[in-house]
């Protein structure tokens, strides 16, 4: 062929001038003559919220409308139908489900309406983002939030199990980037956060291009949850005082979920209705962009240079390294293994998803560091944990805690605690990452207790008498179940009348005490596959306290597949269709397409 035999995608040149059109009602968008590629954010209507019926009842937040922000090939000078989904109506009873939001679409691509919230004994509904769980007003009630659609939104939060002394608080609806918050014993859960698309389209609308926040759950004996950023309505608060408080609506043209209603004692039934979800929106940007064109000669050159076109997947991850071992004789607690994550967990600790080609990747799960065996005297800290690795992400092993009066704890993902008589805890976030992968260990007391090991979200405590507490880890629900990882180990005690330090939430081991007095507490190692640091060993106590092994978890959109080896590792599918691979030992992950 004269052109070298062109194969693959046809060359596309789009000259849309990056023109932006915002559609807030159903109609037609006609592209410009030169437009061939658009980028569009499609936000469905938010779900309605649960109502309140009898005295001291509450309703859960509605889920945000599903959100997709994607590129689409189009034809120039052509009309395309645009549908804007309405927000779902709130429920006005305590034993029903609120109405889900309606679908929004551009041509044939659609986003799913947000799930409706539930009342006191009503059931929330799935949607683009799921409705939050109601307060569980009967033993048979569902107390888990409903799921969202993979790639469009997240699940609603959970409520407490049924009890005759229930708080009557309801959970928040899911948002575009986060699950709805769970209830506390007295307060409703906040709605999940929406997505900021201002970098693509500039500031549009009352929420400055942040769309699809979940609705807050209400509370009859505490405070209602805040609506999620991106138009979520606040959950009602009706404490203290009698009467009813209606739920707050989601913001119009944001896809925000509605806030739940709350009921005290007495009042007008007309005020017990949950809020209405916010209507959706579609924003279209007609791009200036050119795609590739490939001749046989170009293909040959690209393949020879290992640069031929590949399909990639956006993979969210959580990579936790092994926790550090602990010192003895009032030893410092082990530092938690480094914690790195994207897409899930506390937002300040979230990095960016990895764009990975389809294929097979090695996964390394770090081991926990060995503690100093008592009664051996060591001038060095306990062993640090070993690194966990997935793709370009490496989390550093937690630093080992030091023995009494034998120097500072080791630096690591999180630092090890200093032993009794040792001022220095080990540094965390070593080597440095952004966001930080861990925190520093605490200092030992002048004579009587070890410092706590650092955790993923908090430094280890300094000791003043007895062992100090380990730093808290980080909660993460990448698997669909909220679990806390990378807690620091508690320091050991050299004081017969003072206990060892508590382990940090997330698998941190408990520090032990010195026998022979009124103190109490047996040291424990870090929990396996949490990256928890080891609890410090008390004075005159035989034994060895080791760090917990790490863990690696990957999550992909529904159009991809996961295969893991060896069989000790597992795969699963979330209710919304996302694929999850969990590694408790080192192995391989194969990413495929469907």
What average pLDDT does this structure show over 510-533? 83
Residue 276 counted as domain residue? yes
What is the mean predicted confidence (pLDDT) over 135-139?
A: 64
User: Please, which pLDDT band fits residue 16 given cuts at 50, 70 and 90?
Assistant: confident
Mean pLDDT on 134-152: 79
Query: Which segments of 229-329 does DSSP mark as H helices, in order?
Result: 296-304
Residue 161: how many other CB atoms lie within 10 Å: 10
Q: How far apart are CA 129 and CA 142, in angstroms?
A: 17
Q: Mean of the per-residue pLDDT values for the chain?
A: 88
- Is residue 210 domain-shared with residue 323, that is, in the same domain? no
495 burial (CB, 10 Å; 0-12 / 13-18 / 19+) is buried
| CB environment 80-91: b (16+ within 10 A), e (fewer) | bebbbbbbbbbb
Question: Residue 299 burial (CB < 10 Å; 0-12/13-18/19+)?
Answer: middle
Give me the pLDDT at residue 266, please.
Answer: 55
- Domain final residue pick, 286, 309, 332: 309
Domain match, 355 and 252 both:
no
Q: Is the pTM of this model over 0.75?
A: no
| pLDDT above 80 (res 511) | yes
Rounded to an integer, the average pLDDT of 407-427 is 91
Rg (CA), the chain: 27
Instruction: From 269, 291, 309, give the residue that closes a domain.
Output: 309
> In terms of Cα–Cα distance, which of 150, 102, 44 is closest to 575?
150
Distances (CA, A) of 279 to 90, 157, 198: 13, 22, 19
Residues near 393 by beta carbon (within 8 Å), at least 6 away in sequence: 317, 319, 340, 351, 354
Calculate ∠ Cα 200-309-566, nearest 5°: 100
302 lies in the same domain as 330: no
Instruction: Please state the rounded mean pLDDT for residues 439-459.
Output: 94
The torsion of the CA quartet 114, 352, 318, 149, rounded to 10 degrees, works out to 20
| Cβ pair 308, 296 in contact under 8 A | no
At 521, the pLDDT band (50, 70, 90 cuts) reads: low
Helices of type H across 181-271: 198-201
Q: What is the mean pLDDT of residues 315-326?
A: 96
Query: For residue 27, what pLDDT band results from cuts at 50, 70 and 90?
Result: very high
Tell whether 262 and 372 lie within a shared domain. no
**Residue 560: inside a domain:** no
The answer, yes or no, to whether residue 6 has pLDDT greater than 70, is no
Q: Looking at the 3D structure of the chain, how many domains does it have? A: 2
With bands split at pLDDT 50, 70 and 90, how would you rate the model's confidence at 406? confident
Range of the domain at 514: 313-555+567-586
The confidence score (pLDDT) of residue 374 equals: 79
Residue 342 lies in a domain: yes
Residue 592, domain member (yes or no): no
Residue at 340 is within a domain? yes
70 has a pLDDT exceeding 60: yes
Residue 562 lies inside a defined structural domain of this protein: no
Q: Are residues 510 and 373 in the same domain?
A: yes
pLDDT digits (tens, 9 = 90+) for 81-119: 999 999 999 987 767 889 999 999 999 999 999 999 988
Domain end among 309, 332, 361: 309
Is 75 found in the same domain as 145? Answer: yes
What would the mean pLDDT of 296-310 be, rounded to a whole number?
A: 61
260 and 360 assigned to the same domain: no
Same domain, 466 and 337: yes
Query: Residue 335: pLDDT above 80?
Result: yes
Which has more confidence, 258 or 378? 258
> Quick count: other Cβ atoms within 10 Å of Cβ 289?
17
Same domain assignment for residues 318 and 302? no
Q: How many other CB atoms sit within 10 Å of the CB of residue 93? A: 22
- Is residue 209 situated within a structural domain? yes
**Are residue 253 and residue 326 in the same domain, yes or no?**
no
User: 136: how many CB neighbours lie within 10 A of its CB?
Assistant: 27
pLDDT at 142: 65
Is residue 381 domain-shared with residue 304, that is, in the same domain? Answer: no
pLDDT digits (tens, 9 = 90+) for 190-206: 999 999 988 888 778 88
Domain identity same for 405 and 465: yes
Model confidence over 264-302: pLDDT tens digits? Answer: 655 455 557 899 999 999 999 998 876 655 566 665 665
In a domain, 163, yes or no: yes
| Cβ count near 17 (within 10 Å) | 13
Q: What tokens appear for 229 in the block?
A: 């950023």
- Contact (Cβ atoms closer than 8 angstroms) between residue 281 and residue 250: no
């Amino acid at each position: 062929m004269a052109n070298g035999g062109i194969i693959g995608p046809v060359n596309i040149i789009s000259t849309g001038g990056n023109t932006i059109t915002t559609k807030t009602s159903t109609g037609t968008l006609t592209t410009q003559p030169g437009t061939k590629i658009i980028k569009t954010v499609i936000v469905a209507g938010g779900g309605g919220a649960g109502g309140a019926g009898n005295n001291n009842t509450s309703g859960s937040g509605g889920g945000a409308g599903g959100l997709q922000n994607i590129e689409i090939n189009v034809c120039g000078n052509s009309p395309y139908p645009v549908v804007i989904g309405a927000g779902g109506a709130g429920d006005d009873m305590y034993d029903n489900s609120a109405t889900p939001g309606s679908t929004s679409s551009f041509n044939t691509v659609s986003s799913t309406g947000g799930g409706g919230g539930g009342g006191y004994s009503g059931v929330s509904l799935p949607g683009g983002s799921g409705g939050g769980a109601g307060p569980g007003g009967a033993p048979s009630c569902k107390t888990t939030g409903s799921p969202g659609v993979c790639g469009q939104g997240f699940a609603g939060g959970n409520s407490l199990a049924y009890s005759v002394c229930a708080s009557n608080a309801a959970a928040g609806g899911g948002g575009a980037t986060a699950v709805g918050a769970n209830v506390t014993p007295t307060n409703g859960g906040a709605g999940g956060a929406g997505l900021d698309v201002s970098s693509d389209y500039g500031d549009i609308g009352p929420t400055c291009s942040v769309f699809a926040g979940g609705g807050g759950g209400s509370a009859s004996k505490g405070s209602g949850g805040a609506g999620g950023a991106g138009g979520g309505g606040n959950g009602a608060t009706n404490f203290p005082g009698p009467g009813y408080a209606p739920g707050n609506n989601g913001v119009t043209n944001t896809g925000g979920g509605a806030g739940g209603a709350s009921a005290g004692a007495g009042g007008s039934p007309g005020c017990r209705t949950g809020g209405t979800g916010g209507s959706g929106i579609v924003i279209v940007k007609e791009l200036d962009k050119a795609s590739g064109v490939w001749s046989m000669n170009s293909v040959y050159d690209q393949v020879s240079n290992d640069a031929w076109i590949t399909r990639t997947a956006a993979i969210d991850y959580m990579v936790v390294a092994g926790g550090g071992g602990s010192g003895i004789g009032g030893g410092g607690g082990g530092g938690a293994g480094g914690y790195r994550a994207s897409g899930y967990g506390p937002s300040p600790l979230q990095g960016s998803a990895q764009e990975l080609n389809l294929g097979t990747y090695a996964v390394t799960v770090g081991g926990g560091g060995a503690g100093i065996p008592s009664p051996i005297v060591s001038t060095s800290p306990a062993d640090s944990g070993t690194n966990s690795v997935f793709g370009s992400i490496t989390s550093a092993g937690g630093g080992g805690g030091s023995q009494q009066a034998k120097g500072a704890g080791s630096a690591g993902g999180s630092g090890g605690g200093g032993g009794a008589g040792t001022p220095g805890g080990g540094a965390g976030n070593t080597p440095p990452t952004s966001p930080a992968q861990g925190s520093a260990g605490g200092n030992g007391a002048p004579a009587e207790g070890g410092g706590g090991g650092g955790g993923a979200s908090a430094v280890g405590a300094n000791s003043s008498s007895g062992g100090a507490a380990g730093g808290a880890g980080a909660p993460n629900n990448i698997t669909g179940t909220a679990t806390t990882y990378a807690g620091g180990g508690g320091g050991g005690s050299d004081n017969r009348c003072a206990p060892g330090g508590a382990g940090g939430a997330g698998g941190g081991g408990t520090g032990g005490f010195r026998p022979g007095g009124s103190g109490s507490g047996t040291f424990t190692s870090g929990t396996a596959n949490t990256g928890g640091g080891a609890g410090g060993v008390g004075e005159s106590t035989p034994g060895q306290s080791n760090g917990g092994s790490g863990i690696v978890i990957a999550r992909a959109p529904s159009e991809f597949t996961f295969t893991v080896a060896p069989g000790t590792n597992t795969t699963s599918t979330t209710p919304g269709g996302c694929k999850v691979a969990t590694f408790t030992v080192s192995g391989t992950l194969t990413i495929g397409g469907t």
